[in-house]
Amino acid sequence: MATTDSFANYVIRRVLQAIPVVIGVVVLNFTLLHLAPGDPAIVLVGEAGGATEEVLKEVRKEFGLDKSLLEQLWIYLKKIAKGDLGFSYFQGKPVLELILEKIPATILLILTAILLAVIFGVLAGVASAQRPTSLGSSFITIFSLFGFSMPVFWLGIMFILAFSLYIPLLPGHGMLTVGLVGDWWFIAKDILSHLILPAFTLAFIYIAQYSRLSRASMLEVIGSDYVRTARAKGLPERAVIYKHALRNAILPILTIFGIQIGHLLAGAVLVETVFTWPGMGRLMFEGILRRDYPLIMGILIFSSILVIIANLLTDLLYGFVDPRIRRR
């Protein structure tokens, strides 16, 4: 009972700590967006034609852009407190509705990329740590450096050229084949085929990071006394590595995992744009091009909440992996 109460208190405390973080994100991004060069009214009227000064004034007044920065910020904070993220200047829909339409595709892409990065990265790092002087370990090290140096948008274009154009194995754009009709299993397979290239593109750099980090962490742990004791007891090498050594070596990987959620969201903007994946990142890119302040702010708020949730889950995973942390 006491453990349950302490766990609930911990979660409540973390949620309360997250509130000023979200407010800080809102204030900082709102200020930076409005101080940046560019005028949404000019972009909006320019697309419609007839950008006279009178029309620009009417548009600014309609969207509240004629008020001072502090007034606009105060009005926006009051709307957020009521759960209103405003309307998109260009799409004419509530920002919350637009985000909820796009966020499932982004979550699917990010979770798949994380899963690929953790599985392939950790397995490669463990294999390299077991034989640090082997040819395979050298190959993994070179692969890691190669992965670190590759811009994600360039890698995505290369994947499209290689596996969608020259060797047409996988689709290189969209999330679903246009006009596809069939049962849920047929549609799921089609989504999976569209998911492979963008997910591997987003995961590639993180596979390199996790492989290097897990290799360094495993090399440190493998020389520990408890690992030598486990081997002396006659345990199989697989049990020694994956049950004893990896469980202690994985804590730094969990730390990086929590931090990298924000990086993945940023990388999703480029990946979704390259592959025309209909997610929140592509919506963000379109909002930036059009200076759509409410849309950009709504996506930033959702992104910050996702990062906070990911860090909370990471802290909870610490307690699951290491009982010493759970008892504190």
Using a pLDDT cut of 70, give the percent of the chain over it.
92
Tokens of 217: 């962490």
- The per-residue pLDDT for 327 is 52
* CB atoms closer than 10 angstroms to residue 222: 20
Kindly state the average pLDDT of the residues 219-247. 80
Q: Is the pLDDT of residue 262 over 80?
A: no
Kindly state the average pLDDT of the residues 221-239. 80
Single-letter residue type at 17 = Q
- The per-residue pLDDT for 92 is 80
Q: Is the pLDDT of residue 326 over 70?
A: no
Could you tell me the pLDDT band of residue 212, with boundaries at 50, 70 and 90?
confident
- The per-residue pLDDT for 184 is 79
- The per-residue pLDDT for 3 is 58
Q: Is the pLDDT of residue 205 over 70?
A: yes
Rounded to a whole number of angstroms, the distance between the first and last alpha carbons of the chain is 15
Kindly state the average pLDDT of the residues 265-286. 86
Give the whole-angstrom CA distance, residue 4 versus residue 9.
9
Q: Which helix (H) or strand (E) holds 28?
A: helix 2-35
Ordered domains of the chain (ranges, CATH): 2-81 (no CATH), 103-326 (1.10.3720.10)
Kindly state the average pLDDT of the residues 270-285. 88
Q: What is the DSSP letter of 173?
A: S
- The per-residue pLDDT for 323 is 58
Give the whole-angstrom CA distance, residue 143 versus residue 73.
47
Give the whole-angstrom CA distance, residue 2 versus residue 221.
33
Global confidence as pTM: 0.81
Tokens of 177: 């084949």
Q: Which of 110, 85, 97, 95 shows the shortest CA–CA distance to 22?
A: 85
Average pLDDT, the chain: 81
- The per-residue pLDDT for 198 is 92
Give the whole-angstrom CA distance, residue 303 versus residue 38.
24
Q: Is the pLDDT of residue 55 over 80?
A: no
Could you tell me the pLDDT band of residue 73, with boundaries at 50, 70 and 90?
confident
Give the whole-angstrom CA distance, residue 202 versus residue 257.
14
For 68-109, the three-class secondary structure string (H helix, E strand, C coil) is CHHHHHHHHHHHHHCCCCCECCCCCCEHHHHHHHHHHHHHHH
Q: Which of 114-128, 240-254, 288-302 has the lowest mean pLDDT?
A: 240-254
Q: Which helix (H) or strand (E) holds 61?
A: helix 53-62
Q: Is the pLDDT of residue 328 over 70?
A: no
> Contact, 295 vs 95, CB < 8 A?
yes
* CB atoms closer than 10 angstroms to residue 148: 12
> Contact, 214 vs 249, CB < 8 A?
yes
Single-letter residue type at 132 = P
Could you tell me the pLDDT band of residue 199, with boundaries at 50, 70 and 90?
very high
* pLDDT, tens digit (0-9, with 9 covering 90-100), for 154-184: 888 999 999 988 888 888 888 888 777 777 7
* pLDDT, tens digit (0-9, with 9 covering 90-100), for 10-36: 777 777 887 888 888 888 888 888 887
* pLDDT, tens digit (0-9, with 9 covering 90-100), for 117-145: 888 888 888 888 888 777 877 887 787 77
